[in-house]
Amino acid sequence: MKKIVQLFMLIGLGLTLNSCYYNKFPIVDPNPPAVDISFATEIQPIFNNNCVACHAGALVPDLRSDNAYAAITSGGFIVANDLATSKLYQRLVGNGNIMPPSGALSTTSINLVKNWILQGAKNN
């Protein structure tokens, strides 16, 4: 009887060890590589649709197509790779007076601006 119990224990141990070997889960990168966000085709349209009505030269920064990139990068409104000191981003998420004053942008638009800043705020 003792040998039968030992045999079942040995078989059970063997099955357990072998079954674990094949149950490995794939490693998923928690930060998949992001696609480069284009200022001209993705960020400027956000400004055109939501900001230019007020920021068309009279209010700083001037967010019209020909002036926006220079105005936000040279004026300290956007600091590449730094969300905490990017004034424009902080306003978009509601730190200070939320922009635009008519109500927050969509989460998608805010995330585009955020990821563009984190990708280096390129003029592409």
pTM: 0.71
- Per-residue DSSP letter, 15: H
Provide the pLDDT for residue 35.
80
Per-residue tokens: 78: 């956007």
What does pLDDT average to in each consecutive run of 10 residues of the chain (124 residues)?
72 64 54 77 97 93 96 93 95 92 93 95 94
For residue 119, with 0-12 CB atoms within 10 Å meaning exposed, 13-18 middle and 19 or more buried, which class applies? middle
Provide the pLDDT for residue 44.
97
At 29, the amino acid letter reads D
Provide the pLDDT for residue 19.
58
